[in-house]
Structure 1
């Protein structure tokens, strides 16, 4: 469906000219300086440009996203009409406008800025503004409402309107003040449920008992909003949550810490159970709890809780922005690679893994990280890149004539050999399915050599996968057919 205001601008040269100057929305400049796409996978169409090299995009069919030529991007408005109303009535030369100003103060600030604009570069400002407001049928809502809409749009850029450079996959920047706190987002349901529990709401106690994700959020919320009267509630949370499985052990330990901080001897049996016997008396419990309390919270805590809550886009965007800010830190890159893979973003996971691979010092580590990169490249659909990653894995263990540092001795008899071979077989199957016959045949030939080298137990474990790959390659048309 074509946007009404956009269609008018495209079909009325007089309106398009007025929008381009002085309001800097030029539909004849609808292109960007580089290839970009939204992290969410939503549709993206350039609809106008400004005179600094920035671009206005229609994102998801309705929302307007503005990207500068310097790598910033922000959700500008929820429709083209709303965007034009902002540009025409709160134009770019009106600086330092604030939502703290009332209507009269805003109007005065705009009038003062308009006076300067008329004198310096836009003597026909009033006529062009009136033509656009009338010709496009734009409303004239209060300026305070219009500015509030602008601020609201900017604060909703993350997570659904994050723009990525299509080649490097880095996210366009967004002012910190417009970026929502992931911690606050994921703690929202827990905080609400915690307040209801404190008020004696019986229904929410049942909800929390039956929903481990909500239970985890309540425990986390209680850790950030501690109250002296919460001990009975904390005991209940710990009793209901300590048997929920290993996935929730961090929240179980946090719940145990919150109970232990009250220093009650009667809680020792509950704490002993919750901590698998680590806490055995009240004095020890208090010391243990203070130690945990001083531990630094990992940002991956909120990413994992967001994933469990089904807030995948929130988790994805947080991880991408973390990756963009991560330097040569092997541990952080490994965590990012695995976390991105868990949420299904193989392209970003491969970016993290590629950087991680470049930091490895030993042949063993290069081979280990290269076979993971092959898995991720295959997951994102780049089979050629997966093949190159496996080339690096083989080179690391000396199969392609490269010298090694001795750390990979007996690699073929250990788990590394099984994992590298497995990735060759998986790539063979993927190449057959994609119709990439030369890659499938070449990869299978290397897989056969590997199967002859690895331990018999490993080859036996891979036998079903090897058989599938062998038959898949056998079913390919002979070369030249």
Structure 2
């Protein structure tokens, strides 16, 4: 459904003219300087522009997002009507507005700015403002309320309204004060549960003990806010971590450190089990806890890096929070192979294959040996295929073949016996997967070309590897055979 205020602007040239000047919301400039989309995948529609090259969008169908021409984007309001109220009553020329101002201070600041605007470019400002407010039927809200709504909207830009450059996939920036602190977001449930447990709520302790994700948050919250009275609940959580023995060793380690730091003899048996025999007595428990933390910054320090909070966000189901944090990390990452590899794998785990491929492409460019280039190229091929860019996947496999000399060129001497090792099977497997994807997509030329390379690779790699790929090879063979002779 079209926003009623936007519909009025589109159908009333007189109102549209007032919105464009002096309030800089021009529905005739509803286009952006580059192709963009939302990281969340929600709908995005340009609805107006300003005279600096910036653009207003409908984000997700109703909210208004502003993107500047210099790479910043933030949520303005939850509707076009709210956005116009802010632009008309707290206009762009009012540069002295700040959080903490009360109604009187805001009114004074707007009056001073309006006086300058009347003298410099808008002598009929009062009449223009009144006509636009009346014509659009905008309600009469206090400036303090409008300013609070504006601040609230900007703080809600992440994660649902983050704008990406569609070609480079980089995120538009958001001013630091309005960025969400992912650590606070993911720790909030744990902090809340911890406080309830401290107040003696047995139901929350039972719930936390049964929920590994909530336990992770509580343990991290307790690590950063240590209290002597927490020992009984920490002991209960450690018992659960020790008995569950999940893949998340970090939680068991953290619970053991927190319990061991109290040095109680009655906890030795539990700690011996949780630490695989490293703790054998009460005094040793304290020493073990100190030593365990020493390598992570010492007691009370924050050993976690950004990936800790990203992983916890993902486990909590906050996929968009995790995605945005990873994208912004990728935007800020230079030629750092280890970090790029972590980003690529983390983005793939949350299902963002396009961003994972961006990280992987940068990682591939940093590899020095043929073996490493082939290893990272086959990963890039998989990611490009999963994102749907089959041509890019084909190019990545070409780089893998060139790196090991499978295309007839001489390798650099570091990839001997590649065909008899796991690398040969992995590269061949990606050729077969791409063949099937190309057939399904109707790209017969790519299907046949990739299948031809796959046949050569199957004859080259170890017999045991080829045997493991026999089912996939047969499917690819018959898929290509089913193509009509004149296809492509």
Quickly name the TM-score band, shorter chain normalised. over 0.9
Quote the Cα distance in structure 1 between the aligned partners of 2:271 and 2:414: 44
Whether 1:355 aligns to 2:324 is no
**Residue 399 of structure 1: which of 397, 402, 406 is its match?**
406
Shift of 1:283: 4.0
Once residues 480 and 427 of structure 1 are traced to their aligned partners in structure 2, the CA distance between those partners, rounded to angstroms, is 18
Match of 2:416 among 409, 412, 418: 409
CA offsets 1:226-279 (integer angstroms, 9 cap, x no match): 111111111110001223344221111111111111122332221221122333
Q: Where does residue 427 of structure 2 map in the other structure?
A: 420
Q: Is the Cα–Cα contact under 8 Å of residues 30 and 46 in structure 1 kept in the other structure? A: yes
Residue 344, structure 1, aligned to residue 351, structure 2: yes
Structure 2 gaps, min length 5? 297-302
Aligned to 2:267: 267
**Tell me, what secondary structure is at the counterpart of 1:379?**
helix
Query: 2:444–2:487: 8 Å Cα contact kept in structure 1?
Result: no
The question of whether the paired residues in 2 share the 8 Å contact of 1:239 and 1:270 is answered with yes
Q: Which residue of 2 aligns with 1:226?
A: 226
| Corresponding residue for residue 466 of structure 1 | 473
Partner of 2:48: 48
- Quick one: distance in 2 between partners of 1:5 and 1:461? 62
Q: Structure 1: how far apart are the matches of 2:276 and 2:430?
A: 38
Match for residue 440 of structure 2 among 428, 433, 436: 433
Partner of 1:277: 277
| 1:110 matched residue in structure 2 | 110
**8 Å Cα contact 2:183-2:309 kept in structure 1:** yes
Equivalent position SS for 2:47: strand
8 Å CA contact retained: 1:165, 1:171: yes
Residue by residue, what CA displacement relative to the aligned partner does 1:325-368 show, whole Å, maximum 9, x if unpaired? 00000000000000000000000000000000000011100000
Shift of 1:480: 4.9
Q: Could you tell me how far apart the structure 2 residues matched to 1:148 and 1:155 are?
A: 11
Q: How much does 1:465 deviate?
A: 1.0
Counterpart in the other structure of 2:482: 475
Matched, 1:316 2:316: no
Report SS of the residue matched to 2:244: coil
Decide whether aligned partners of structure 1 residues 99 and 480 sit closer, same or farther in structure 2, where only a CA change above 3 A counts. closer
* 8 Å CA contact retained: 2:313, 2:321: yes
Which ranges of 4 or more aligned residues in structure 1 deviate by more than 4 Å?
A: none
TM-score by length of 2: 0.96
Per-residue CA deviation, residues 264-304 of structure 1 (Å, 9 max, x unaligned), is 23322212211223333444433332244341322111111
Q: Secondary structure at the match of 1:75?
A: strand
Aligned pairs (5 A) from 1:130-169 = 130-169=130-169
Q: Are the aligned partners of 2:268 and 2:282 in contact in 1 as well (CA < 8 Å)?
A: yes
Q: Deviations over 1:153-180 (max 9, x none)?
A: 0000000000000000000000111011
> Secondary structure of 2:58's match?
strand
Q: Which residue does 2:34 correspond to in 1?
A: 34
Distance 1:243 1:402, change over 3 A: farther
Q: Secondary structure at 1:167's aligned position in 2?
A: coil
Secondary structure of the structure 2 residue equivalent to 1:242:
helix
Map of 2:374 onto structure 1: 367
CA distance in 1, matches of 2:77, 2:228: 45
SS at match of 1:477: coil
Per the TM alignment, residue 476 of structure 1 is displaced from its structure 2 partner at its CA by 1.4
What SS does structure 2 have at the residue aligned with 1:392? helix
Q: For residue 183 of structure 1, what is the aligned residue in structure 2? A: 183
Q: Residue 197 of structure 1 corresponds to which residue in structure 2? A: 197
Conservation of the 8 A alpha-carbon contact between 1:397 and 1:408: yes
Greater CA drift, 246-255 or 14-23: 246-255
Given that 2:205 and 2:233 are in contact with CA atoms closer than 8 Å, whether structure 1 keeps it comes out as no
Matched residues in 1 for 2:71 and 2:155: separation?
A: 18
CA distance in 1, matches of 2:351, 2:487: 38
- Structure 1, unaligned stretches of length 5 or more? none
Query: How big is each residue's C-alpha offset from its partner over 1:117-154, in whole Å with a ceiling of 9 and x where there is no partner?
Result: 11111101001000011000001111111000000000
Where 1:247 maps in the other structure, the secondary structure is coil
Question: Aligned residue pairs: how many?
Answer: 481
In structure 2, what is the equivalent of residue 90 of structure 1? 90
Structure 1, residues 437-461: CA drift from partner, whole Å, max 9, x if none? 1111111111111111111111111
Secondary structure of the residue that 1:401 maps to in structure 2? coil
Task: Quote the residue 1:456 is aligned against.
Answer: 463
Q: Secondary structure at the match of 2:61?
A: coil
Q: Distance in 2 between matches of 1:282 and 1:465?
A: 57
Instruction: Give the match for residue 287 of structure 1.
Output: 287
- Aligned partners of 1:99 and 1:144 also within 8 Å: no
